[in-house]
Amino acid sequence: MSKIIMTVDDSASVRQMVSFTLKQAGFDVVEAVDGRDALNKINGSGVHMVITDLNMPNMDGIGLIRGIRAQPAYKFIPIVMLTTESQIEKKQEGKNAGATGWIVKPFNPAQLLAVVKKVLG
Amino acid sequence: MMDRHAEVFKEEASELLAELESSLLELENNPDDEELIARIFRAMHTIKGSGAMFGYDEVAAFTHNVENIYDLVRNGKLAVAKKLVDLTLAACDQIRRMIERPEDIDRSVVEELAASFRNIVPAVEEENKQEDQQPSPTDKITAGEIEKDLTYRISFKPDIGIFANGTNPTLLLNELRESGECKITAMTDNIPLLDSLEPENCYTYWDIVITTDRGINALKDIFIFVEDDCDLKIEIIDPFEPAEYKKLGEILVERGDTNKDIVDKALSGHKKLGELLVEAGIVAPDKINSALAEQQHIKEIREKRQTAEASATIRVPAERLDLLVNLVGEMVTVQSRLSQLSSVINNSDLILVAEEVERLTTELRDNTMSIRMLPIGNTFNKFKRLVRDLSAELGKQINLVTEGEETELDKTVIEKLNDPLVHLIRNSIDHGIEAPAIREQTGKRKEGTVKLTAEHSGANVLIHIADDGAGIDPEAIRLKAIEKGIISPEDNLTEKEIYNLIFAPGFSMARKITNVSGRGVGMDVVKRGIDALNGALEVKSKKNEGTTITLKLPLTLAIIDGLLVRIAESFFVLPLSAIEECVELTREDIRAMHGKHMTHIRGEVVPYIPLRERFRIEGEPPAIEQIIINRSGDDRIGLVVDQVIGQHQTVIKSMGKFYRDIKEISGATILGDGTVALIIDIGQLTQAVIRDAI
């Protein structure tokens, strides 16, 4: 049974690239366009991992991470943030909110898969 | 792949830019609207991020300047003025141009605009420059860091709450395992008793000893996400100093788990140091285990280096091996008698010993068989030279490709294979592959390919010699054979039989005799050589596409796993490798098929050979007989016997000279009680039955 990864980003092109890369590698993917959309979709979804952008309308990445960790079913799943280099403080904020790790944009498919393997196995 | 994403990006950017423009126009009238400012910032941020991902680096670099400004605005450090809005709108136009026509970028215009943004707040610019570049897990190790093998001692102690951010320490340990040889010891001394254990906490920590050539930075990288949430120590240890690696006590002292005095005191007793320290409660058992693991790891590293230096092979005269194989064969026979006797006598002690002897004998048998096995790669490599020289001589361009060089065969078999293989390859080169000019005409590549492959298939080894040449023309063969008087014009042959004609003595397709071919001696010698090895030849060919000749050879000549069966008072052995299953045959079944020797198995019709009839054994068959279903290529065929007795390790003894021509029987074996059982060659038997039926 393949693992399910949720990708959250308000940029359609990034979502598509992440989705395509993960599907090629054998994962199932659930997409969400912002934090609120993600929290709505995560209920009962059985996702094994979340990859989220930090900058999004309606609820940003930090809010999403807190929201996910508050749910017992998803308290311990790996959550990876997508950051740019100008967001170092955000990275720490993300970790404090409960993020497992981060990927710096821009990234290529190989780098994405390497991080997925690192935190998901 | 990037192109289709680039398309999506372009669309997205275009939408974002349109949205940006309307937001900016609104912002002019509502310069303090935080929602608008946030939206503008996000749009810029997205264009920058996605731009970089999909190859629009100049767009990303330029947009960075704008994003910076709006970051200041949203943090209240800068106010919105008409000038800023004008500049931003101009920037949007520029970005749009850069995305739509990246080849037409006027860099001076870009730089001018970028400078204008930067000049808005030169002071703040300094602050931004000081962002430290934190290491990213997606950074690759710089090239040139090719390290040799080093050994490290790693102590990884995660914080108690590390699970809360989704970290799985075992994944990190797996990454370590992939980086090199390592020994991991889990330290469990911090795990509390069950009633005070919180399952959401991580109490375990780990000691690791690892030897790797990836360098210390690669190891640190593994822990990059957790470096703030754990206690991590990585130190290099030298596995080759001191000459005699550290004793357990020294390792413990070095690690700080205990001190020298305690170690010395403990040693003055006579037990092992480790036990003493544990008993005295000085050092936790896990720490001992971890230190011992380090010792063991180093020992293995040293041994590896030693064996690489010392020689690892011994030359042995082949006859000594033959003697050994013979003796092992005798041993197997005696062992089966022992097993049989012990089950008759039914003494439990004896049965235990007999089972042990059986286990050891099997191992001995397997090991001895494998001593004589050599990879066929050596033989294949010799042919490269042959192909090169021969193709040059004949003015053709031929490439030899090999696969399966590691496939192992008995030494004698390999030696006996040499000549037949040489001949088959010569044939491919001479008759098979066409001259370059002809190949070009038929649309093939000028260079022809001869492919040698070896693979295991059940109890056999298959060797394929394939060429992409002219293929065999069945009609031409037929005519030539008639010309040579091998067959007469009225004979009606199947394609397979026609192909087999090339193995007939005296047959040759050459119009003239070259010093490579034509004398009509080669192919039948090949066939005899393969027959002598108890092997088989198969020819597959397609005109103008090529020919593949397959040699099927048994893996070992002396001992096989067989199934012992009985018909009346006679015993037979069937080779186990081809047997798929065993079903019952009742009188009903026989009557239902109206005398045809066939039966239904799960909807499939399987023909069978009634061995009692075939071997003309007298007497009436029992009410329920057994059919043993064998697989031969794609077909299944059954053999009917009275009773299946069981698996039997069969030492093959060849039949005397008088019986050599009985193809259906490939040999005989002596059973535990001295009776002789005949070994049936299923393939030959099947062919004989088919021949007789025609």
pLDDT in tens, B443-456: 888 888 899 999 87
Please report the DSSP string for B158-201 in residue order: E-TTGGGGT--HHHHHHHHHHHSEEEEEEE-TTPPPGGG--TTS
- What is d(CA B564, CA B246) in angstroms, rounded to the nearest whole number? 58
B52 has a chain A CB within 8 A of its CB: yes
pLDDT of residue B556: 63
Q: Which of B325-334, B509-518, B621-630, B665-674 has the highest mean pLDDT?
A: B621-630
pLDDT for the residue B143? 41
Contact A77 B166 (CB under 8 A): yes
Choice among B133-142, B266-275, B384-393, B566-575 with the minimum mean pLDDT? B133-142
Q: Which two tokens stand for residue B103?
A: 């080849």
| Residue B354: band (very low, low, confident or very high) from pLDDT cuts 50, 70, 90 | very high
Task: For residues B193 and B201, give the distance between their C-alpha atoms in angstroms, rounded to a whole number.
Answer: 13
B168 neighbourhood in chain A, CB within 8 Å: 78, 119, 121
Q: Do B168 and A78 touch (CB under 8 A)?
A: yes
Of residues B324 and B104, more confidence is placed in B324
Give the three-state DSSP class for B245: coil
**Weakest mean pLDDT among B37-51, B456-470, B493-507, B557-571:** B493-507
Q: Which among A16, A99, A105 has CB closest to B49?
A: A105
Note the pLDDT of residue B149: 82
* Whether the Cβ atoms of residue B234 and residue B152 lie closer than 8 Å to each other: yes
Q: Which two tokens stand for residue B125?
A: 């610019």
Task: Supply the mean pLDDT for chain B.
Answer: 81
Average pLDDT over every residue of B594-621: 87
Contact B137 A86 (CB under 8 A): no
Band (B509; pLDDT cuts 50, 70, 90): low
Q: Tell me: pLDDT of B199 over 80.
A: yes
φ, ψ at B579 (rounded to 5°): -85, 130
Report how far Cα B323 is from the mean position of its chain's Cα atoms.
Answer: 36
**pLDDT at residue B134 in the model:** 44
**pTM reported for the whole predicted model:** 0.46
In chain B, residues with a C-beta closer than 8 Å to the C-beta of A76 are 163-164, 166, 200
Question: Sign (positive/negative) of CA torsion B372, B376, B377, B382?
Answer: positive
Residue scoring higher pLDDT (B488 or B145): B488
- pLDDT band per the 50, 70, 90 thresholds, residue B286: confident
Is the separation of the CB atoms in B154 and B207 below 8 Å?
yes
Rounded-to-integer distance, Cα B618 and Cα A91, Å: 90
List the one residue out of B689, B669, B671, B693 whose CA is nearest residue B679: B669
Q: B171 vs A119: CB contact, 8 Å cut-off? A: yes
B133 pLDDT more than 80: no
- Per-residue confidence (pLDDT) for residue B506, from 0 to 100: 65
Distance separating alpha carbons of residues B523 and B526, to the nearest angstrom: 5
Q: Which residue of B has its CA nearest to A18?
A: B5
Q: What is the structure's pLDDT at B407?
A: 83
Checking if the pLDDT of A31 tops 90, the result is yes
- The answer to whether B75 and B10 are in contact (CB under 8 A) is no
Sheet holding A79-83, edge to edge: A28-32, A4-8, A49-53, A79-83, A101-104
Residue B128: its pLDDT value, please?
44
> Rounded to whole angstroms, how far apart are CA atoms B117 and B170?
49
Judge whether B525 and B423 are in contact, CB under 8 Å. Answer: yes
Structure confidence at residue B122 (pLDDT) = 54
Between residues B590 and B144, the one the model is more confident about: B590
List CB contacts (< 8 A) between A84 and chain B: 45, 48-49
B402/A contact by beta carbon, under 8 A: no
Q: How many residue pairs from chains A and B have C-beta atoms closer than 8 A?
A: 115
- Residue B200: closest CA among chain A residues belongs to which residue? A76
Cβ atoms A97, A62 nearer than 8 A = yes
Flag whether pLDDT at A39 surpasses 60. yes
> What pLDDT score was predicted for residue B31?
82
Residue B135: per-residue pLDDT: 43
Whole-number Cα distances in Å, A17 to A103, A104, B6, B58: 14, 15, 10, 20
Q: What is the pLDDT of residue B142?
A: 40
pLDDT at B308: 63
pLDDT at residue number B85: 86
Q: Which residue has the higher pLDDT, B13 or B683?
A: B13
Query: Rounded to an integer, what distance in angstroms lies between the CA atom of residue A110 and that of residue A98?
Result: 25
A54: CB partners within 8 A, 6+ apart: A60, A61, A62, A81, A82, A83, A87, A90, A94
Nearest CA among A49, A50, A59, A56 for reference residue A11: A56
In the numeric block, which tokens belong to residue B658? Answer: 């008088």
Distance from chain centroid for Cα B338? 41
> Percentage of chain A surpassing pLDDT 70?
98
pLDDT cut 90: percent of chain B above it: 14
What part of B 637-656 touches A (C-beta under 8 Å)?
none
Range from A46-55, B227-236, B497-506 carrying the lowest mean pLDDT:
B497-506
Select from B91, B163, B424 the least CA-distant residue to A79.
B163
Give residue A33's pLDDT: 92
Q: Where are the alpha helices (DSSP H) in A2-99?
A: 12-24, 35-42, 61-69, 88-97
Confidence of residue B360 (pLDDT cuts 50, 70, 90): very high
Q: Does B138 contact A14 at a Cβ distance shorter than 8 Å? A: no
In this prediction, residue B162 has a pLDDT band, given cuts at 50, 70 and 90, of very high
For residue range A82-107, what is the model confidence (pLDDT) as tens digits? 987 667 778 888 989 999 999 988 88
* pLDDT band, residue B542 (cuts 50/70/90): confident
Tally Cβ neighbours within 10 Å of residue B272: 13
Mean pLDDT of B34-42: 85
B427: which residues sit within 8 A by CB, 6+ positions away? B517, B522, B523
